[in-house]
Amino acid sequence: MMKTKKIAGNESGMALVIALIALFLMSMLGGIVFTTSSSEMLGAKNYRVMNEALYAAERGVEYAKSDPAIYAAVGTGSVAIPVGGVSLESGASDASGTVEYLTRGNPPRGSGMDATEFEANYFAVNVEGAGPLNSRTEIEVNVAKIVPKN
């Protein structure tokens, strides 16, 4: 009888150990990728809802700058916006705020208005935009309404 040579030592079960280590490493890699993906999704969602709140606040500022009823009603005090049942709601976002009379003075520089013939009423417009998931953004703008001198 011929004796067979043993080239390698006893390696029974080593392939199973290597396969389990590879499986563990792949599972860890998958978990890391999943966590990173979830973080990216939450970041994108946060960016989107903050933009919606910002757009709502900008919508409120544009409304406040353009509605003549606000400046007729404000006098020398302040008035809440929106006025007269106007809705600034759009989808899940809304805007509200105040317009406050500040002072009367010369027209702003660069407006092209002659300070001997015109004057400006200055107002502070404060608007808070509310978006989904309770996101909020505030904008404050100064507005000058140019009127003829009396």
pLDDT by residue (tens digit) across 71-80?
Answer: 777 777 888 8
Is residue 3 situated within a structural domain? no
pLDDT by residue (tens digit) across 100-145?
Answer: 999 989 998 888 888 889 999 899 999 999 888 889 999 999 998 8
Is residue 108 situated within a structural domain? yes
User: Which residue in 96, 140, 149 sits closest to 121, CA to CA?
Assistant: 149
DSSP labels, the chain: -PPPP--S---TTHHHHHHHHHHHHHHHHHHHHHHHHHHHHHHHHHHHHHHHHHHHHHHHHHHHHH-HHHHHHHTTSEEEES-TT----BTTBEEEEEEEEEEEESPPTTS---TTTEEEEEEEEEEEEE-GGG-EEEEEEEEEEEEE--
Average pLDDT, the chain: 85
Is residue 123 situated within a structural domain? yes
- pLDDT for res 92: 80
Q: Predicted confidence band at 85 (pLDDT cuts at 50, 70, 90)?
A: low
Is residue 6 situated within a structural domain? no
Is residue 90 situated within a structural domain? yes
Tell me which residue range forms the domain holding 54. Answer: 15-148
User: Which residue in 66, 133, 141, 131 sits closest to 97, CA to CA?
Assistant: 141
Is residue 7 situated within a structural domain? no
How many domains does the chain contain in total?
Answer: 1
Is residue 80 situated within a structural domain? yes
Is residue 2 situated within a structural domain? no
